[in-house]
Amino acid sequence: MTAHFFGDTAVLTGRSLRHILRSPDTIITTAVTPVAIMALFVFVFGGAIDTGTTSYIDYMLPGILLITIASGIAYTAYRLFSDLQGGIFERFQSMPIARSSALWAHVLTSLAANVASLVIVVGVALLLGFRTGASVGDWLAVAGMLILFTLALTWVAVIAGLAAKTVDGASAFSYPLIFLPFVSSAFAPTDTMPAPVAWFAENQPVTSIVDSIRSVFAGQPVGPELWVALAWCVGILVVAYAIAMVVYRRRIS
């Protein structure tokens, strides 16, 4: 049964990846918005924000990476909704394949597409002046955090794709997620914000993730925020996965 599941998932993931390779503009489009925001803040707003001895692009890049992920998962919800509307899942039900393989294929495709977008964004950031003394191990730690965050948000996207009634509704759910880094420590220190906003910023998941990645890039010790960040990512992943499977069973039953 396990081999059957992995085999089916691999085949269906290959199908989804071929769709993306035939339309690479999806990855490019996902990277365009974060790159535009990065350039805007670096060249327009960066000089007005005091980040101490840290250059502004070094300070803000972790937040831009999370925005890249939030932008990318909208396409996951869209592709899943399109498959549902096109009757693909009904066809899969008539075939001897693992039922959850179709969902995992979309999740793994989202992971691959988002990793490609993140690589593009980091490349542009290097051109704009981003510098870090992070070791290979540090980069792998950052990659692990971003992958975990991507998986968590992708399962949220799966819920949206399964529950949406229209194609616009399938992708619009990501807008609040894209906005969330702006109310965090991603672009400005939280101690410069009004008290109620600062309280929210300091107690939402993006801030702990951003602070952890920033500390790794800066070669500084990562404090308790790392465990808070991991708890947020794992918690969102587990809850979103459970809800997605319940919605999926109801939708295709």
Torsion, CA 75, CA 169, CA 166, CA 157, rounded to 10: 40
- pLDDT at residue 148, as a whole number: 95
Q: Where do the structural domains in the chain lie, given as residue ranges?
A: 2-252
* Model pLDDT, residue 215: 92
Handedness of CA 160, 171, 199, 209 (dihedral sign): positive
CA distance 221 to 210: 14
Residue 102: in which H helix or E strand, if any?
A: helix 101-127
Per-residue confidence (pLDDT) for residue 228, from 0 to 100: 93
pTM of this structure: 0.89
List per-residue pLDDT tens for the chain, 253 residues long. Answer: 455 677 777 777 777 777 777 766 666 777 788 888 888 888 887 677 767 777 889 999 999 999 999 988 888 888 888 777 777 666 666 666 666 777 888 888 889 889 988 999 999 999 998 999 889 999 999 999 999 999 999 999 989 888 878 777 777 777 888 889 999 988 888 888 898 999 999 999 999 999 999 999 988 888 888 899 999 999 999 999 999 999 888 877 6
Q: What is the pLDDT of residue 172?
A: 78
